[in-house]
């Protein structure tokens, strides 16, 4: 437990963190990688270059400071981050290193304003928060290893099938190279893929949602080639997967992780909303619902630029066609002439509240969504305007968590 004096000091720094948080975390990562370049084998280099990781950490530090007197309020955030840490291989010995450089960055950025009392209070608070992460992650490591078909660290999987799903998305079907059993997973979870790319100094690790259903005897990931957006750095890993990895090749995988999962104890209608490659966890949820709750009302809504960018459409339409309680609806931002002639989409332009209300028809449902951050902000705002209860809104960021409000 933290002393009241420590709590008071930490809370007094909240306004400062709001202003200087990103500068602190940017300097933190600089210090960390200068002193421990080996940790570059864990972190996503592209997220570092784009500033996403720095912003996510700044948000997490700010939330911890603002809730330092009621840390249970940020427990869901802790669990979400802990899932990613476990899938990446973050261990207890990393926390003192992080603490040293985080405190050093605070001191550097704030200068004389970072008094000994403030640094001391943050050192004490960091110890408590780090202890919470270590405890949660220890249980996750144990569960991942001891569950039926589970394993520790990264396990080699063979690509048994590679299939192009759209102009930019390709699926990889993965089976254990040792021929053994594989761990079950919750629809919505992901695996980490570790790659040593020829010519690269560092190992790359990326998380990809599982787009198949549990119990299939294999894992499926559906990967978007990320160098197709002007102005953004090429997706080194996704390009390598698309161009170089072939059937028969081996990829090291972590056991499934993640807390963005379908509530299968709920019998109310469920709404699955996705944009772009954000449909991958939704397809897993849809398949699971078809197998376990075929009478439950399910509305599947997906937004894509056009038909050529729309992955897994035939698969979803087949599942929906076999289940009278299911429906699927497509929103195309810039449909092609071929799309128009075929009449394959239901709305042109952007997903909005009016379309959601017309398509879903009820607020008494569970809403799950995933996609690019601007898309997610639009969906989140629409659901709030509609009056959807906060506990019925579930979403997942691909990469570091951002802010939707």
Domain spans of the chain? 4-146, 155-253, 270-396
Confidence label for 401 from pLDDT (cuts 50, 70 and 90): low
Q: Could you tell me which of 197, 369, 218, 354 has the C-alpha nearest to residue 281?
A: 369
Domain spanning 4-146, CATH class: mainly alpha
What pTM does this model have?
Answer: 0.92
Catalytic residue among 62, 95, 126, 173: 95
Q: Per the annotation, does 326 bind a ligand?
A: no
pLDDT value, residue 78: 84
pLDDT value, residue 228: 46
Is residue 367 within 8 Å of 380, Cβ to Cβ?
no
pLDDT value, residue 244: 96
Q: Scanning the structure block, which residue is given the tokens 């937004």?
A: 303
Burial of 112 (0-12, 13-18, 19+ CB in 10 A): exposed
Asked whether this chain's domains 155-253 and 270-396 adopt the same fold, the reply is no
pLDDT value, residue 301: 98
Q: Per the annotation, does 399 bind a ligand?
A: yes
Residue 219, SS3?
strand
pLDDT value, residue 92: 95
CATH number for the segment(s) 270-396: 3.40.50.80
Confidence label for 392 from pLDDT (cuts 50, 70 and 90): very high
Give me the chain's average pLDDT, please. Answer: 91
pLDDT value, residue 60: 80
Q: Per the annotation, does 404 bind a ligand?
A: no
137 part of the active site: yes
Mean pLDDT along residues 103-128: 93
Q: Per the annotation, does 276 bind a ligand?
A: yes
- Token pair for 25: 């975390």
Is residue 154 within 8 Å of 147, Cβ to Cβ?
no
Q: Per the annotation, does 233 bind a ligand?
A: no
Question: What DSSP letter does each residue of 328-361 carry, written as one string?
Answer: EEEEESS--HHHHHHT--SEES---HHHHHHHH-
Mean pLDDT along residues 364-382: 95
Q: Per the annotation, does 215 bind a ligand?
A: no
95 part of the active site: yes
pLDDT value, residue 51: 60
Q: Which residues contact 155 (CB under 8 A, 6 or more apart)?
A: 176, 177, 178, 252, 253, 254, 255
Q: Per the annotation, does 275 bind a ligand?
A: no
Catalytic residue among 29, 126, 137, 141: 137
Q: Scanning the structure block, which residue is given the tokens 């599942």?
A: 319
Distance CA 60, CA 102 (A): 13
| Segment 150-177, tens digit of pLDDT | 999 999 999 999 999 999 999 999 999 9
| Segment 281-310, tens digit of pLDDT | 999 999 999 999 999 999 999 999 999 999
Mean pLDDT along residues 124-140: 91
Domain spanning 155-253, CATH class: mainly beta
């Amino acid at each position: 437990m933290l002393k009241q004096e420590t709590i008071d000091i930490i809370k007094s720094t909240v306004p400062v963190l709001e202003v200087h948080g990103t500068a602190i975390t940017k300097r933190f990562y600089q210090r960390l990688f200068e002193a421990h370049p080996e940790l570059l084998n864990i972190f996503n280099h592209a997220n570092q270059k784009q500033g996403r990781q720095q912003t996510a950490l700044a948000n997490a530090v700010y939330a911890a400071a603002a809730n330092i007197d009621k840390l249970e309020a940020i427990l869901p955030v802790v669990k979400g981050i802990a899932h990613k840490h476990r899938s990446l291989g973050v261990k207890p010995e990393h926390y003192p290193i992080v603490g040293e450089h985080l405190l050093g960055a605070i001191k550097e950025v704030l200068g004389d304003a970072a008094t000994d009392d403030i640094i001391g209070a943050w050192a004490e608070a960091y110890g408590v928060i780090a202890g919470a992460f270590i405890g949660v992650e220890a249980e996750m490591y144990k569960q991942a290893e001891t569950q039926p078909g589970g394993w520790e660290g990264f396990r080699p999987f063979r690509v048994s099938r590679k299939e192009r799903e759209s102009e930019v998305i390709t699926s990889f079907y993965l089976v254990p190279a040792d021929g053994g059993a594989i761990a079950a997973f919750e629809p919505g979870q992901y695996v980490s893929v570790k790659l040593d790319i020829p010519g690269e100094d560092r190992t790359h690790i990326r998380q990809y949602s599982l787009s198949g259903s549990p119990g299939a005897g294999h894992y499926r990931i559906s990967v978007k080639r990320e160098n197709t957006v002007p102005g953004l750095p090429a997706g080194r890993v996704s390009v390598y997967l698309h161009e170089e990895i072939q059937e028969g090749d081996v990829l090291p995988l972590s056991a499934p992780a993640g807390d963005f999962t379908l509530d299968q104890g709920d019998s109310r209608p469920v709404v699955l909303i996705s944009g772009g490659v954000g449909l991958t966890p939704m397809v897993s949820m849809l398949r699971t619902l078809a197998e376990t709750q075929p009478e439950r009302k399910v509305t599947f809504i997906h937004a894509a630029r056009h038909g050529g960018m729309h992955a897994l459409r035939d698969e979803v339409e087949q599942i929906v066609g076999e289940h009278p309680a299911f429906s699927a609806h497509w929103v195309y931002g810039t449909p092609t002439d071929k799309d128009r002639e075929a009449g394959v989409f239901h709305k042109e332009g952007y997903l909005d509240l009016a379309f959601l209300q017309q398509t879903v028809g009820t607020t008494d449902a569970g809403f799950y969504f995933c996609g690019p951050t601007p898309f997610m902000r639009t969906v989140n705002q629409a659901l709030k305007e509609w009056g959807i209860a906060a506990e019925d809104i579930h979403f997942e960021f691909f990469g570091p968590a951002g802010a939707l409000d």
